[in-house]
C-alpha cells in the first residue's frame, strides 16, 4: 500500500499530514524522525496524525520532529483545519477538534480555508499548571539562570509550557543559545518552549522561538499566544495585538477570562507519495 503525506505550512512552520484513514504504517519515534528529516526524509517541523475519528469527534495527534508528542500546536491546528476542508471531512464554517490539551474551536474566515481563527484555550501563569518546580506561584518577571546568565522571565501554559524572556534586542542566534539551556532546565519537568520577546508598541510585538523537541522555528501559534499573553499580563500591550515572527504575523486577542483567540494564514505545499524503498525503510524501524 502506498504512503502519501500532505504538506502545509503556517507562516513557514511546516507540518506533514499523515491521514490514518488513507495510510497503514506504525509510526514509531524512529519513523517520525526519518519522515521529518530534511536530508533523508520529506522534511518538516512535525507530523499531524489525523483525523482520528470517533463518535461525533475528530482528533489530531501532534508529533514533534524528534518523535515526541506535543499537547498543542497553534499552527498545527490551523493546518489540520485546512486539510480537513481540503479532504472533504468538514463542510461547516466552524467545528471542534480534539488535541492532547483538549478541544480547540476552528473558524474558517474565507471560502478557501486559508485564513483561520482558532480558540486556543486559557492562559495560566501558575507554576503547577505550566508545570514548574518550586512553591505554587504565578511565575511573573522572575530571574532565572540559563547558561550561567540571568534573565527576567514570565512563564505560562496555554496547554503546553512556555518561558517568555523580555529583551530589548532579539535574534535567531540568541534564541538558539538560550533555548538550548532553557528547554531542558531542571525547573521544567516536561521541558519548555522558549520565546524571546521585544515589545514594539502597544499593539505589536516581535518574538524569536526555540521549541522543545523541534529547536528554532520560523513561527509557532502557541508561542505567539504565550508571548502575547505574557506581554499583556505584564502591562506592556493592549489585549489585541500583532505578533511578528520571522515567518509572518499572527493576530492574537486576549479575552477578559484569559482565553485566547489566534488568527493566521495557512499555505498548501503539495502531496508526497513515498517510494517503495522509503516505505520499507520506515516499516523496518
Give the pLDDT confidence of 121-150 residue by residue, as tens digits: 999 999 999 999 999 999 999 999 999 999
Average pLDDT over residues 177-184: 96
Give pLDDT, residue 55.
77
Give pLDDT, residue 54.
84
Among 99-103, 199-203, 207-211, 222-226, which is the least confidently predicted range? 99-103
Give pLDDT, residue 4.
97
Structural domains of the chain ordered from first start: 4-114+267-283 (3.10.310.10), 122-259 (3.10.310.10)
Split at pLDDT 50, 70, 90, the class of 56 is confident
Average pLDDT over residues 22-51: 96
Q: Which of 15, 122, 75 is nearest to 263 (CA)?
A: 75
Annotated binding site: 13, 64, 74-75, 160, 193, 211-212, 221-222
Percent of the chain having pLDDT more than 70? 100
Average pLDDT over residues 170-189: 97
For every residue of 194-255, DSSP letters joined together read EEEEEEEETTEEEEEEEETTTEEES--HHHHHHHHHHHHHTTSS-SEEEEEETTEEEEEEE-
Query: What average pLDDT does the structure give for the chain?
Result: 96
User: In this model, does residue 280 exceed pLDDT 80?
Assistant: yes
Give pLDDT, residue 1.
72
Annotated binding site for substrate: 13, 64, 74-75, 160, 193, 211-212, 221-222
User: In this model, does residue 231 exceed pLDDT 90?
Assistant: yes
User: In this model, does residue 57 exceed pLDDT 90?
Assistant: no
Q: Which of 3, 2, 15, 38 is nearest to 219 (CA)?
A: 15
Give pLDDT, residue 53.
92
Give pLDDT, residue 132.
98
* Cell 524522525 sits on residue: 33
> How far is Cα of residue 194 from the mean position of the Cα atoms in its chain?
12
* Direct distance between the N- and C-terminal alpha carbons of the chain, in angstroms, rounded to an integer: 17
Split at pLDDT 50, 70, 90, the class of 183 is very high
Give the pLDDT confidence of 190-216 residue by residue, as tens digits: 999 999 999 999 999 999 999 998 999
Average pLDDT over residues 159-174: 97
Amino acid at each position: 500500500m502506498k504512503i502519501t503525506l500532505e504538506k502545509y505550512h503556517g507562516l513557514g512552520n511546516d507540518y506533514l499530514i499523515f491521514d490514518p484513514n488513507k495510510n497503514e504504517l506504525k509510526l514509531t519515534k524512529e519513523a517520525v524522525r526519518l519522515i521529518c528529516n530534511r536530508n533523508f526524509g520529506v522534511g518538516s517541523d512535525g507530523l499531524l496524525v489525523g483525523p482520528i475519528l470517533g463518535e461525533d469527534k475528530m482528533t489530531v495527534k501532534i508529533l514533534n520532529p524528534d518523535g515526541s508528542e506535543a499537547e498543542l500546536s497553534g499552527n498545527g491546528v490551523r493546518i489540520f483545519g485546512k486539510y480537513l476542508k481540503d479532504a472533504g471531512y468538514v463542510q461547516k464554517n466552524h467545528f471542534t477538534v480534539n488535541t492532547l490539551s483538549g478541544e480547540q474551536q476552528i473558524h474558517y474566515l474565507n471560502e478557501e480555508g486559508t485564513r483561520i481563527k482558532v480558540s486556543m484555550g486559557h492562559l495560566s501563569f501558575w507554576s503547577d499548571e505550566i508545570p514548574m518546580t518550586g512553591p505554587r506561584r504565578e511565575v511573573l518577571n522572575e530571574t532565572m539562570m540559563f547558561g550561567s546568565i540571568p534573565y527576567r522571565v514570565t512563564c505560562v501554559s496555554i496547554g503546553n509550557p512556555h518561558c517568555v524572556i523580555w529583551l530589548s534586542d532579539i535574534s535567531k542566534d540568541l534564541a538558539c543559545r538560550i533555548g538550548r539551556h532553557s528547554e531542558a532546565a531542571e525547573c521544567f519537568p516536561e521541558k519548555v518552549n522558549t520565546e524571546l520577546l521585544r515589545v514594539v508598541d502597544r499593539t505589536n510585538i516581535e518574538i524569536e522561538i526555540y521549541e522543545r523537541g523541534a529547536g528554532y522555528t520560523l513561527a509557532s501559534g502557541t508561542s505567539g499566544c504565550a508571548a502575547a499573553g505574557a506581554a499583556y499580563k505584564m502591562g506592556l500591550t493592549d489585549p489585541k495585538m500583532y505578533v511578528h515572527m520571522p515567518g509572518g504575523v499572527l493576530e492574537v486577542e486576549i479575552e477578559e477570562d484569559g482565553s485566547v483567540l489566534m488568527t493566521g494564514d495557512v499555505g498548501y505545499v503539495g502531496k508526497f507519495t513515498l517510494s517503495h524503498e522509503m516505505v520499507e525503510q520506515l516499516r523496518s524501524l
